[in-house]
Amino acid sequence: MSKYLYFIILISTTMISQNRNLEWTEEFNGKKINTDIWNFKKGLGHNNEEQYYTSRAKNIRIEEGMLIIEARKEKFKGSKYTSARINTIGNKLFKYGRIEIRAKLSEGKGTWPAIWMLGENRQRDGYPASGEIDIMEHVGKSPTEIHGAIHYPELDNKKLNSSVSSFEIPSSKDGFHRYAIEWDQKSINYFIDEQLFHCFTIEDAEREGRENIFKKPFYLIINLALGGNWAGEIDDSIFPARFYVDYVRYYQ
């Protein structure tokens, strides 16, 4: 991409964001996590991950206006590690607009923080029928990269299609970055600190006989996983590992 084109994209996307209306925000300013919005997942993770998710304050809490998800090395219900995962199932859905999260990623081999979405039909129709929008994923073994992805099924709801991009994390004095998608009826565009790094054309998920899954509402998930199929071997010297989220903002 030329510097000139990059400048055009950066200016235009910034102007678009500034012209949006802030419809909903979670600033994590309370003393406790708002359970009218957030649900806690409890139990083992997926993808051969090694953590057990809990709702305990030692794993997930609010401090000084930040959500902190803390992964720990400790024996708990048959697992060697604990962490946390929250979602907005049944409480808050998103369809189109800009979803922006300011966050500081955990560090160390074996960590796998993620900000992602699944279709509201997940519990009814299963996966991959629900589709998936990965706003941000990071694995500690590749510390300088973030990843954005779209996953969607073929008509039989068995074969999985994916559209994935990786991007070098920009420099930051405090480690925080803004991760966002801008989603409309035609596309889902991915940004980090207003830098566009991935584009998905929604038409690519069209299948005759089924409504496009990216024209339906999705719910949000924030979690810190450990190990598993992608993050790999865990470095036990890194604990406790913390994933900080400053805010979640939804613009229409």
Residues carrying an active site annotation: 132, 137
**Tokens 């304050």 -> residue:** 57
- Cα angle 202, 38, 200 (rounded to 5 degrees) comes to 15
3-state helix, strand, coil in the chain (%, to 5): 15, 50, 40
The tokens for 145 are: 């990269």
Q: Quick one: which H or E segment has residue 76?
A: strand 66-76
Confirm if 97 and 185 have CB atoms less than 8 A apart.
no
Confirm if 133 and 215 have CB atoms less than 8 A apart.
no
